[in-house]
Amino acid sequence: MALVVRARRVVLPEGERAATVRTEGGRIAAVTAFDDAPGGAVTLADDEVLLPGLVDSHVHVNEPGRTEWEGFATVTRAAIAGGVTTVVDMPLNSIPPTTTVEALHVKREAAKGQVAADVAFWGGAVPGNLGQLRPLHEAGVVGFKCFLLDSGVPEFPRWTTAGCVRRWPSSPDSTDC
């Protein structure tokens, strides 16, 4: 579905200006002059600003396992209501925590059909899963979270071996931590 929105104040990489933003398939297809808009375009009021969607890089979606705390449906609806178009889920609080590729698949399966925003995932670095970090990255996690102190969640213990961090770039398949 195509959507065309124009505004006197559009925030763009080069600054703020009047523009028409054309989308196709949920993505920006073109940014053109303000007056270059079809009849069905949405026109914002002069005191409104068209901004890019925001990214919240620290969100706890506790589904599966602790969905009553907060699940994909409520997290992503709340995000959209606040102008956030992408959330990045922290790897703890759900059961299982996102510390293996299998757990990442479980999270993705739980999200199906429930999300109102784009969702990305952090992977977890915990004792014993060093060999999972590269596969998690290859499976699509955007980065890794670890705790140097107690996380407060028994399924996500603190990272205890500093040597793993020093060895990882040269020995990513080590599992001795």
Considering the domain architecture, whether residues 101 and 39 belong to the same structural domain is answered as no
The parent domain of residue 13 ranges over 3-43
Q: Which amino acid does the sequence have at 168? A: W
Mean pLDDT, residues 91-120:
96
Considering the domain architecture, whether residues 115 and 151 belong to the same structural domain is answered as yes
pLDDT digits (tens, 9 = 90+) for 122-175: 999 998 888 899 999 999 999 999 998 999 999 999 987 654 554 445 555 544
The pLDDT assigned to 163 comes to: 44
User: Which region, left, alpha or beta, applies to residue 93 given φ > 0 means left and ψ of -120 to 50 means alpha?
Assistant: left
Considering the domain architecture, whether residues 67 and 89 belong to the same structural domain is answered as yes
pLDDT band at 20 (very low <50, low <70, confident <90, very high): very high
Mean pLDDT, residues 91-110:
96
pLDDT digits (tens, 9 = 90+) for 66-95: 988 999 999 999 999 988 999 999 999 999
The pLDDT assigned to 170 comes to: 53
The pLDDT assigned to 73 comes to: 96
Considering the domain architecture, whether residues 101 and 33 belong to the same structural domain is answered as no
Considering the domain architecture, whether residues 92 and 35 belong to the same structural domain is answered as no
What's the structural domain count of the chain? 2
Among 27-41, 66-80, 103-117, 155-169, the minimum mean pLDDT is found in 155-169
Considering the domain architecture, whether residues 91 and 153 belong to the same structural domain is answered as yes
Considering the domain architecture, whether residues 37 and 76 belong to the same structural domain is answered as no
Going through the chain in order, the beta strands assigned E by DSSP cover 3-12, 15-24, 27-32, 42-43, 54-59, 84-89, 118-121, 123-124, 144-145
The CB density around residue 142, as the number of other CB atoms within 10 Å, is 12
Domain annotation covers residue 151? yes
Domain annotation covers residue 133? yes
Considering the domain architecture, whether residues 63 and 148 belong to the same structural domain is answered as yes
For 157, the 3-state DSSP assignment is coil
pTM of the full structure: 0.73
Considering the domain architecture, whether residues 98 and 17 belong to the same structural domain is answered as no
Domain annotation covers residue 91? yes
Strand partners, 124: 145
Considering the domain architecture, whether residues 91 and 146 belong to the same structural domain is answered as yes
